[in-house]
Amino acid sequence: MNRAVGVLGGMGPEATLDFFAKVLRRAGARSDQDHLRLLIDNNPGVPDRNAALSGRGESPGPVLAQMARGLQASGADFLVMVCNTAHAFEEDILNATTLPFVSLIEETRDAALREQPGLQRVGLLATSTCLGAGLYQSAFAPYGVSTLALEGSALARFMDLLYQIKAGDTGPRVRAEMRTLALELVDSGAEVLVAGCTEVPLVLDAQDVPVPLVNSTDVLVERTLQYARGLVPLPERSVKTPA
């Protein structure tokens, strides 16, 4: 019997759809009953993560906590969240339920470390908010890996692209601009790129860049299948702020 997966989603909806589609593709199922049970809360009403962390809007924490509680009530055995930036509010989720929570940030870091043994410099395609919260930087630091990220006008262009993707534009112009930004990180010395925002894989593929690209959505899909099928032990709960 597979474990039921609770999915905190809607940030944005296209990324959640992408995750759902990839879980179905990779499940290798031959009948309905071979598939995973996914309980998906596609909640586009989660307050804007970037606005909140820059002090321009309400915190998504309470809404994420309520979603987590609902997913537990519906029968989820563990939780995942299809949004890198929202992991800045991971503690609100951990404090809201008794379920194991699979960190997209830690899983993506681990995939990057597996991808390139001896990795020294990783390039982050991540939101200004994800970068500002230091999510990937603090995940990589204990492994002696330094991080490179877009800055200034390049970061502003990246953020603008993300909102265009959220508005439904995944066309060739957006793809070309994302590739240009990715190549800037490679030119700066990134040995591996992390697509550390679930909108990025919607417009950037491994063949677009000359170094390994670790796609956070793909990582989450693979790990979700492994956790749900009991092939690997679920992460221990590490609540930093006790409830």
Interface contacts to a second copy, rule CB under 8 A: 10-14, 17, 20-21, 24, 29-46, 48, 66-67, 70-71, 73-75, 163, 166-168
Of the pair 71, 80, the CB lying nearest a second copy is at 71
Name every residue whose Cβ is closer than 8 Å to that of residue 197 and which is 6 or more positions away in sequence.
84, 85, 125, 126, 127, 130, 162, 216
HEC per residue, 167-232: CCCCCHHHHHHHHHHHHHHHHCCCCEEEECCCCHHHCCCHHHCCCCEEEHHHHHHHHHHHHHCCCC
Name beta bridge partners: 139: none
Q: Minimal distance in Å, beta carbon 18 to a second copy? A: 10
Name every residue whose Cβ is closer than 8 Å to that of residue 102 and which is 6 or more positions away in sequence.
78, 79, 80, 220, 223, 224, 227, 234, 235
Q: In degrees, to the nearest 5, what angle opens at C-alpha 206 toward C-alphas 192 and 22? A: 115
Catalytic: which of 80, 94, 96, 197? 197
Distance of alpha carbon 48 from the chain centroid? 15
Q: Are 129 and 60 in contact (CB under 8 A)?
A: no
Q: Minimal distance in Å, beta carbon 8 to a second copy? A: 11
* 83 is known as an active-site residue: yes
Of the pair 34, 205, the CB lying nearest a second copy is at 34
* 130 is known as an active-site residue: no
Distance CA 174, CA 86 (A): 23
Distance CA 90, CA 101 (A): 9
Of the pair 19, 158, the CB lying nearest a second copy is at 19
Q: Minimal distance in Å, beta carbon 93 to a second copy? A: 15
Q: Minimal distance in Å, beta carbon 197 to a second copy? A: 13
Catalytic: which of 83, 111, 145, 194? 83
Q: Minimal distance in Å, beta carbon 149 to a second copy? A: 23
Of the pair 24, 186, the CB lying nearest a second copy is at 24
Of the pair 14, 115, the CB lying nearest a second copy is at 14
| Residues classed as catalytic | 83, 197
